[in-house]
């Protein structure tokens, strides 16, 4: 995800054919690198069995990742606007390849904490740079178009990658060394992404780039006149992203404790099916008005959380998966609409700062509630915690959207 939703610079001169090819190759590479970020999801159980990790330790490891994303967003999310898209993406890909190698070599708790933090930093920097790059390449490839395809691909590939990671990791973990092979395969597979980034046209003109020593951190600010809709969007983003955080970090615990499911492949498949619905909903409903997106998204979240809680109470795998799919599909619609609305309301010169605040709320949502859930699970049963969590999301998301809808025609 990015603090940029539209191109703020004209694409550098290049052929439309190369821009089109670069667009699709970068989109595929984006999916691959983002999928690496959720590789540990089906593997946490193995770490627990081997090293005695408890739920709280796993939660801390996930929180380290969330903290890394927040730090990366604030301190590196805007860097590609000034240095160029290519150098930022290349740097992040190289760092993630090194992280994959280190994951394969070291699996102590301290190493996992450090490496998850660094991979989170990569998400904050990569998602911003890649989203802007894809949007700009699309604008150059299809000048004069409405830009829906570019924006949809740029945002949906982000979530699609996060969703595919658990399934790919679970498949790779069926080998004799499940805590090594997935990372080795990813270390090799991500190398071509660096070559793709080298090939794709740079879209930040050279005359608009600055020297690295002129770096300034991303500001986070909201103009007083849009604080009300911003508050609504932030509440909805925080609550919605907490659902994504739960699915990618603690769904395995629920499946194991409540349903007795410990298969890594099943856990990875469930997480993938649920998270990918966020991308699917954005693609299928890309041309809805922003008001309709918010309304449909709110309905999906409400129904989904009710079904999810009912599935937990009835110990039903079908209910858990169906509820998660509906809720996460709604989250995708809501966040895409919220970003577009907030970007349109903010003054052009403050748009990056305002959207940084919105993304910050989202990533806080994907981190803090999950940590609190992990702590609660140390004292309370899985089902009561999940039902309470569903009830809170059921209240928070519609409340935020109700405020945001007042600003939509």
Task: Identify the CATH number of the domain in which residue 311 sits.
Answer: 1.20.1250.20
Average pLDDT, the chain: 83
Whether 209 shows a pLDDT value over 50: the answer reads yes
Whether 73 shows a pLDDT value over 90: the answer reads no
Answer whether residue 3 is part of any domain: no
Look at residues 405, 403, 395, 399 and name the one whose alpha carbon lies nearest to residue 305.
395
**Distances from the Cα of 344 to the Cαs of 89, 192, 237, 280, 392, in angstroms?**
27, 36, 17, 24, 29
Q: 199 and 244: one domain?
A: no
Look at residues 265, 245, 242, 240 and name the one whose alpha carbon lies nearest to residue 255.
265
Residue 218 vs residue 27, higher pLDDT: 27
Range of weakest confidence among 137-151, 270-284, 386-400 = 137-151
Structural domain including 327 reads 219-409
Range of weakest confidence among 119-123, 238-242, 270-274, 338-342 = 338-342
Q: What is the gyration radius of the CA atoms in the chain, in angstroms?
A: 20
Q: What is the structure's pLDDT at 90?
A: 94
Rounded Cα distance between 122 and 128, Å, is 10
Q: 266 and 311: one domain?
A: yes
Q: Which of 205, 233, 259 is the C-terminal boundary of a domain?
A: 205
Range of weakest confidence among 133-147, 241-255, 342-356 = 342-356
333-372 pLDDT, tens per residue? Answer: 988 888 778 877 777 656 656 777 787 888 888 888 888 8
Rounded Cα distance between 296 and 285, Å, is 10
Look at residues 254, 271, 244, 260 and name the one whose alpha carbon lies nearest to residue 40.
271
3-state class percentages of the chain: helix first, strand second, coil last, to nearest 5 = 80, 0, 20
Q: For residue 59, what are the contacts with CB-CB under 8 A and spacing of at least 6?
A: 249, 250, 370, 371, 373, 374, 375
Return the ∠ at Cα 364 (arms to 363 and 366), rounded to 5°: 60
Q: 223 and 189: one domain?
A: no
Residue 228 vs residue 253, higher pLDDT: 228
The pTM (predicted TM-score) of the whole model is 0.80
Q: 233 and 178: one domain?
A: no
Domain count, the chain: 2
Q: 179 and 324: one domain?
A: no
Q: Which of 205, 240, 266 is the C-terminal boundary of a domain?
A: 205
Q: What is the structure's pLDDT at 304?
A: 93
Q: Which of 157, 177, 205 is the C-terminal boundary of a domain?
A: 205
Answer whether residue 34 is part of any domain: yes
Whether 309 shows a pLDDT value over 80: the answer reads yes
- Please check whether residue 185 is in contact with residue 173, taking contact to mean a CB–CB distance below 8 angstroms: no
Whether 389 shows a pLDDT value over 60: the answer reads yes
Q: 172 and 309: one domain?
A: no
Q: What is the structure's pLDDT at 212?
A: 62
Whether 13 shows a pLDDT value over 60: the answer reads no
């Amino acid at each position: 995800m990015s603090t940029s939703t539209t191109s703020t610079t004209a694409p550098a001169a290049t052929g439309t054919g190369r821009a089109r090819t670069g667009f699709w190759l970068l989109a595929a590479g984006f999916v691959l690198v983002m999928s690496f970020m959720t590789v540990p999801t089906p593997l946490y159980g193995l770490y627990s069995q081997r090293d005695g990790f408890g739920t709280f330790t796993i939660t801390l490891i996930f929180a380290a990742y969330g903290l890394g994303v927040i730090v990366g967003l604030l301190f590196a999310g805007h860097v590609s606007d000034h240095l160029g898209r290519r150098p930022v993406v290349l740097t992040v890909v190289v760092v993630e390849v090194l992280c994959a190698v280190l994951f394969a070599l070291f699996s102590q708790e301290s190493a996992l904490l450090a490496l998850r933090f660094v991979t989170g930093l990569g998400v904050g920097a990569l998602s911003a740079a890649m989203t802007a790059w894809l949007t700009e390449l699309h604008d150059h490839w299809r000048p004069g178009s409405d830009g829906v395809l570019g924006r949809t691909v740029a945002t949906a590939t982000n979530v699609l990658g996060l969703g595919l990671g658990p399934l790919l990791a679970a498949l790779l973990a069926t080998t004799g060394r499940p805590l090594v092979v997935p990372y080795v395969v990813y270390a090799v597979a991500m190398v071509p992404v660096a070559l793709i980034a080298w090939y794709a046209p740079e879209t930040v003109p050279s005359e608009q780039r600055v020297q690295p020593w002129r770096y300034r951190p991303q500001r986070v600010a909201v103009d007083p006149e849009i604080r009300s809709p911003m508050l609504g969007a932030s509440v909805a983003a925080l609550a919605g992203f907490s659902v994504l955080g739960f699915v990618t970090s603690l769904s395995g615990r629920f499946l194991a404790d409540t349903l007795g499911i410990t298969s890594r492949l099943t856990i990875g498949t469930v997480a993938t099916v649920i998270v990918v619905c966020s991308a699917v909903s954005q693609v299928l409903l890309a041309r809805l008005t922003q008001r309709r997106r918010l309304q449909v998204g709110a309905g999906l979240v409400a129904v989904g959380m009710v079904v999810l809680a009912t599935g937990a109470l009835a110990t039903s795998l079908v209910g858990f998966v169906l509820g998660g799919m509906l809720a996460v599909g709604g989250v995708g619609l809501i966040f895409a609409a919220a970003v577009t609305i907030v970007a349109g309301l903010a003054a052009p010169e403050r748009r990056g700062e305002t959207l940084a605040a919105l993304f910050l709320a989202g990533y806080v949502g994907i981190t803090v509630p999950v940590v609190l859930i992990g702590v609660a699970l140390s004292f309370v049963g899985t089902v009561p915690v999940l039902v309470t969590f569903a009830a809170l999301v059921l209240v928070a998301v519609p409340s935020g959207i109700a405020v945001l809808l007042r600003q939509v025609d």
